[in-house]
Structures are given as C-alpha cells and as structure tokens.
Amino acid sequence: MGTAETLRWMSFRIPQLDCHDEILLIQQLLSDCPGIVQLECDVLQRRIDIRFQPGQATGDELVDRLSRAGMTALPWQELDQQDVESFWQLHGRAVMTLCSGVLLLIAALSHLVASMDKGLVGFSLEAPSGAAVILLAGSILAAFVHVVPRALTSIRHLRADMNLLMLIAVLGAIAIEQWLEGAMVGFLFSLALWIEQRATERARESIKGLMQQTPRMARSVERPGADARELPVQRIEIGQRIEVWPGEQIPMDGVVMSGATYVDQAAITGESMPLAIGVGDQVYAGTLNVNSSIQVEVTHKSDDTTLARTLRLVEQAQTRRAPIQRWVEVFASRYTPLVMGLAVAVMLLPPLILPIVQLPGVSLDRIWDTWFYRGLVVLVISCPCALVISTPVAVVAGITTAVRRGVLVKGGEFLEAMANVRAIAFDKTGTLTVGTPLIEQLVPIGETNSRDLLSLAAALEVASIHPLAEAIRSHASSEEVEYSAATDCTVHHGEGVTGSVAGEPAWIGKPSWAAEQAELSDDVQQTVEGVAAAGLTTLVVGRGVQPIGVIGIADPIRPETDQVMAELRQHGVGQLLMLTGDGDAVAKSIADQAGLESYKAGLMPNEKADEVAQLKDGKGTVVMVGDGVNDSPAMARATVGISMASIGSQHAIATSDIALMSDDLGRIPWLIDHARRTLRVIRQNTTLAIMLKLLCLAATIAGFCSLWIAIAADTGATLLVTSNSLRLFSR
Ligand code: ADP
Ligand code: MG
C-alpha cells in the first residue's frame, strides 16, 4: 500500500445511482479490484469518489467494471454540471408513473361499472374482465420500466433489493390473478420512487443553487481605458482585469485596482452587511457590488474561487455520514433480508401447520392462496424505502441551510455531534477577541529608541501570520518605520519568532520564552510586569542576548462574547473554558470580560490539544473553537473543531470541521439549535417509518392488511418523511 501522497482520488458521476442498494452493488463490484484503497459514495450527488494506487488500477478499468453492471461512470471533472441529464432521465419516472396511474384508474372504473351492472357494490374478488386485465397489465408495465433493469441486476448479483422485492410481489399478485392489486402495488411503488427522486433532486438543487450565485460571464478589460468585453469566466486567467458594475455580482476572486464601493458578502457569510471596499482590497466571487463600478485584477481561476472551494467542501460533506445515518443503513440492510425470510415463512408455515393442529374456528378453505397472499404483503412491507431516503435528505437539508447562514459544516457527523455539545473550549486571540490587536505600549530598553524597536520587531514578524505579527507590521507601516524582512526566521508556534536582522540574531516573543533567549534583568522583568498588569499581551524583543524593549498589545474582546456565553449555558453546554498561549494576567482579564468561569494560560499548541483531550473523557461532544493559528492541533483533537474564519482564511477553513464564515461567535448557539432540529427530524422520520412497518406487519399476519394498503402505507410514509426533511430548508 502506498503512502498518502502517491494515492490518487478519482470521481465519477453515476446517473443510475439512486438508492443505498446501488451503493452496495458498487462496493461489491469494486471490492476485488486491486489498488482501490477507499470508496466513497454519495447518492444525492450521484457521485462516487475512489482513492486508488495509480500503478494498480486505471480509470478505464473502473469504468469498465461498472458498465458491466449496467452503470455508466462519467468522469466528474469533465461534466458541465448544468445539463448532464436528459429529459428522460429527469422526468421519465414522472411520466411513466402518470401513465400507470391513468391506466389503473380507467381499469378500476370499468371494473367498478361492470361489478355494479352485475348488482355487486364495490370491488369483488372475482377476476376483472379481459379488457381490464390488458389495461392493468399496461399500468404494471409502465410502473416497472424503470424497475425491471435494476431488479435484473440484483438477481445477477444475488442481492435482495427493493426493486426485486416489488417485482416478485407484483408477479405473485398476477399469479394468483389479483391484477388490480398488482397494478396498485406497481403504481404506488413507482409513485414512492418518484417522490423520493423529487426530494433528492430538491436537495441536490439546493447545493447547485449555492453555486449559481456566481455569474457565468465577466467583463474583461484588455488594457486600461479600453472597452470591456464579455467573456465566460472559465476563459479569464489570473492577472487579467475585469470590470464589475454596480448592482452586479462579482464573478471572480480578485484585488480591486480602481474604484471604491460597498460589497455585500451575504452569499458567503450569510450576513448582508455592506462592507466598504477600496483599491488594494480583496473581493470574492459571488458577493454583490452594491453601489459603484470597480476594476478588479483576478487572483484565482473560476473553479478555484473561495466560493467554489467552499462548495466543494459542502459537496464532499455528504460522504462523511452522521452516525445516525449509518445506523439507519445498517438497520435497513439487516431488516430487508429478515422480513423476506419472514415472508417465505408466512407463505409456507401456516398452510403446513394449521391443517395438523386443527385450531377451532380457523377455516382451511383456500389456505395456500390466503397465506401466499399474506406472504406477498409481508414482502411489500420489507421494502425499507422511506426509512433509507429520509435521513440523507434531512442531513443535506441541514447542511445547506447552515451554509446559507454562513456556517460551513463539513459532514453529517459534525452536525449530529453539535446536537450534543457538553464542553466548548475557546482559543483567545482571534476567537474571543476581535483578532486585530493594536499596539498600546512600546517600551525601549537601554540605548534603543522606539522606532528601532518597532523596526526590528516588524522585520522578524514578516515570517509570521499570527494576528500579533500583523499588528506589529501594520503599526510599523502606519508609523512609517522602515524595515526589511529578517533572514533565517523560525516561527516558534505559541512562543515567538527568531531570525537574523542585519547579520545579528534577533527574537521576539512571550516573556517566559524570552527568558530562555536572554537573561531578563530585574528592570526588564518589572517593565514586563507593568505592561502585563495593564491587561496587555506582552512581548519582549531582543538582539543577541540583549533585550531591547517590551511591546504591549491590546486585543479587545468581541462585543457579543458574554451574550453568546450566556446563550450557550442556556443551551445546556456544561463547560465553557478558554485556552490561551498568552500570559496569565491578560488571560484572566479576557476570561472575566467574557464571563468564563475557567481558563488556562501559557499553553503551547500541543498543550492546548492535551487540555482538549482531557475534556474528552466522558460523554458528549467536546468542541474547540479557534482561528487556525496555533490551535489546529487542539481543533483536530476535539470531537468538532470550529474555526472563526473570515472569508479569506483558507487555512482556518481547511483545518476545521465547521467554519464560521461570518466570523461571528453568535452562530454557535444557532448551530446547536439547528443541529438539534435536524436530528429531531431524522428521529421522527425513522420512528414513523419503523412503527408503520411494524403495524402493517402485525395487521398482515392477523389478516387485516391487503397488498395495496401495505404499499400505500409505504408510499405515504415516503411522502411524509421526505416532506418532513425538506422542512429544514425553510429555516
Ligand atoms: P492564543 O492562545 O492567545 O491564540 P497563541 O498560542 O497564538 O495565543 O500564542 C501564545 C503567545 O505566544 C502569544 O500571546 C505571544 O505572546 C506569543 N507569540 C505567538 N506567536 C508570536 C509571534 N509571531 N510573535 C510574537 N509573539 C508570538
Ligand atoms: Mg490563536
């Protein structure tokens, strides 16, 4: 087996992928194919992702294997997602279901009229006339055009799936000349499949709908002053200039080169708050240019924009199934064969046993027919359709609704985990605080002056992306202090930076770490304590073994923080805690302002992770909220890592399980509510589906349930659970 780097992913669209049954089939088909390491299937996208060893398997071979089972595998990248499906693929089932229903209705009416002519009221058990039989046969055929090929595939692979079950049930009904019931089963099953297809499509479209927020054309400006020319976004290269008029959506990611305007980023952050944008600012595809024309230099190709990457993560989210989803799948895969066995038992055992035991009051008249029929009903009941479809639709509805609110959830499992949060640990800088710190104090030591101090600090901080580093660099720029990047820099995560400035070793970092770089005299210690006592993050700067100054940086707390903490407590989150690498004095002041009962200060990134690991023993979900700077190990260790990611921070988005694109802590309580809502819907659906099955099963054995009632119950359940799931979209 190769290392992670040598393995490759390949994605296909499988138009025939509709149900969990087909996933099992694909798994079976590919199970003995050498070189395949991992297989992810996503019914909603009709997509499979295969991870394989390039030398041992080829794309052609995989396509070949799948086509032998009647599946077309289209390479995902080559698809224009808009129009891969023909009219027939999209609406064939609806048309045939309608045909089947109309034929059934005509046949039923004519049968009724015929019965009334004979003086009988309602349906009689006698066989319908020749003409009615032809109509009913037509109805069955129409209902089963889409089912038969799949049922045949299942026979070839010796698998019991619902297509096969229904085919057997209908053939059985025909065998005992119950044409009317057979046609009803056919029609209602086809209707259930169509409802299911509609729901899946709705979910699929909601994801596509997010993507369609970006325009397909951009106005390209060849050279300054020239007129703009409309081009498809795919043809625009990095570095090219485009023009965006007021009221238009920005088609690509880029940097503003001329003009100033307000931009509404609701498409990505879910928050419609116009942001002032000027020359040099980054703008994102999908956001709205509110009030005046701007020119933008494109920084990313159209398939690599922030929105496109985010949506790819949403698409992939469905492959990370929620535990409850897996439970339903396992349940369904055991339930079906079990009930099939029961069906056979119902057909055979009573006719064999009842004549021997001779119970009083039990008639032995037509005993084989009666129990064969009841067996067929059990067969119909064994179809787990409603059960299997409801969960993925609910999960997708949950995830896309969250994305619309600017919360990127990377998998059903994280959504489910959020319903059950026990403890949340917060990083300080950039998470509880605004994360754009400001320099409050510059205290030079000895012969240094504050400009030299700032220059040296900024030179070192070029190497770091820490918010503190950015604060120092931008302070230097605004004070017009010159600096050139230090060389040989090492970023000591959670501690500071070392490097070489003008040929001399230099360093900047937190006091406890600085004490290892140089001896800090009592004077210096006192300065440090003074700055820290003011509630400021304190950094010591030094050259060689000589401290040259102390910098005090303020990072105000986010205004919404204490409100959010109160809400989280109301939501039953038992433990709220702050983890920080910063000093104790600052930590205490921030924790107090945030209303947090406990905090741990002076932690290295791996110690933050250890703290999270400790929280984890016990029940319930442990969440780590951070900004991706020095807290990724802790986020990875938590059950769920949430990043405060303003749109631009791809790193934070990449390293977390859930990203708050709007950079708003208030979304966490909302998310907990939302996750609970989603889970509640799933539980309602599974309970309803299972109860209904049990009820039908009992009724059948008691002899009260007919074929058409069983299938109508299943179709009704499918309708109920899918609409229940789709309700989540309206949140
Ligand atoms: P937090 O837990 O508050 O997010 P970090 O773990 O990111 O803090 O960093 C802890 C401490 O390490 C900071 O408060 C700072 O003193 C020091 N530090 C980290 N990175 C840098 C840097 N690039 N320059 C200077 N000091 C740094
Ligand atoms: Mg941090």
> pLDDT tens across 53-63, in order?
877 777 788 78
Probe ligand 1: pick from 466, 596, 599, max atoms within 8 Å of CB? 466
pLDDT at 684 over 90: yes
Q: Cα 420–421–427 angle (5° rounding)?
A: 160
- In 3-state terms, what secondary structure has residue 331? helix
Q: What is the mean pLDDT of residues 125-152?
A: 83
- Spatial separation of the C-alpha atoms in residues 351 and 361, rounded to whole Å: 15
pTM over 0.85: no
Q: What is the pLDDT of residue 653?
A: 83
Which residue, chain included where needed, has tokens 């009941």?
A: 381
Q: Which fold has domain 217-304?
A: 2.70.150
pLDDT at 18 over 70: no
How sure is the predictor about 129, in pLDDT bands with cuts at 50, 70 and 90?
confident
Class of domain 438-554: alpha beta
- Spatial separation of the C-alpha atoms in residues 418 and 658, rounded to whole Å: 10
In the chain, what are the domain boundaries?
8-85, 89-207+320-393+683-730, 217-304, 438-554
Q: Which of 18, 42, 427, 627 is catalytic?
A: 427
How sure is the predictor about 119, in pLDDT bands with cuts at 50, 70 and 90?
low
How sure is the predictor about 136, in pLDDT bands with cuts at 50, 70 and 90?
very high
Which residue, chain included where needed, has tokens 């959670």?
A: 494
Q: For residue 269, how far is its CA from the centre of ligand 2 (angstroms)?
A: 21
Ligand 1 closest atom vs CA 537: 14
Probe ligand 1: pick from 472, 536, 539, 555, max atoms within 8 Å of CB? 539
Known catalytic residue: 427?
A: yes
How many Cβ atoms from other residues are within 10 Å of residue 677's Cβ? 17
For 444, the token pair is 């030079």
How sure is the predictor about 125, in pLDDT bands with cuts at 50, 70 and 90?
very low
Contact at 8 Å (CB) between 459 and 547?
no
CA atoms within 13 A on the CB side of 278: 0
The matching CATH number, chosen from 3.40.1350.10, 3.30.70.100, 3.40.50.2000, 3.75.10.10, for 8-85 is 3.30.70.100
Probe ligand 1: pick from 427, 428, 429, max atoms within 8 Å of CB? 429
- In 3-state terms, what secondary structure has residue 179? helix
Mean pLDDT of the residues in the chain: 86
Which of the listed ranges 47-51, 245-249, 337-341 does the model predict with the highest average pLDDT?
Answer: 245-249
Q: What is the pLDDT of residues 542-563, one digit of tens each?
A: 999 999 999 999 989 999 999 9
Q: What is the pLDDT of residue 4?
A: 47
pLDDT > 70 in the chain, percent: 94
pLDDT at 579 over 90: yes
DSSP line for 390-418: HHHHHHHHHHHHHHHTTEEE--HHHHHHH
How sure is the predictor about 256, in pLDDT bands with cuts at 50, 70 and 90?
very high
Ligand 1 closest atom vs CA 583: 14
pLDDT at 226 over 90: no
CA atoms within 13 A on the CB side of 690: 10
In sequence order, the β-bridge partners of residue 546 are 543
The DSSP output letter for 77 is G
For 730, the token pair is 């309206």
Which residues line the pocket of ligand 1, CB cutoff 6 A? Answer: 427-429, 461, 464, 466, 468-469, 494-497, 508-510, 537, 539, 580-582, 629-630
- Closest CA relative to residue 683, chosen from 385, 322, 378: 322
pLDDT at 1 over 60: no
pLDDT at 233 over 90: no
CA separation (Å) from 666 to 398, 429, 464, 555? 18, 17, 29, 19
Q: What is the pLDDT of residue 648?
A: 67
Q: What is the pLDDT of residues 278-308, one digit of tens each?
A: 999 999 988 889 989 999 999 998 888 888 8
Q: For residue 287, how far is its CA from the centre of ligand 1 (angstroms)?
A: 33
> When comparing pLDDT for 8 and 484, which is higher?
484
Contacts (Cβ under 8 Å, ≥6 apart) of 248: 215, 288, 289
Residue type, 618: G
For 488, the token pair is 């040989």
Q: What is the pLDDT of residue 261?
A: 92
- Spatial separation of the C-alpha atoms in residues 575 and 684, rounded to whole Å: 29
Q: What is the pLDDT of residue 84?
A: 57
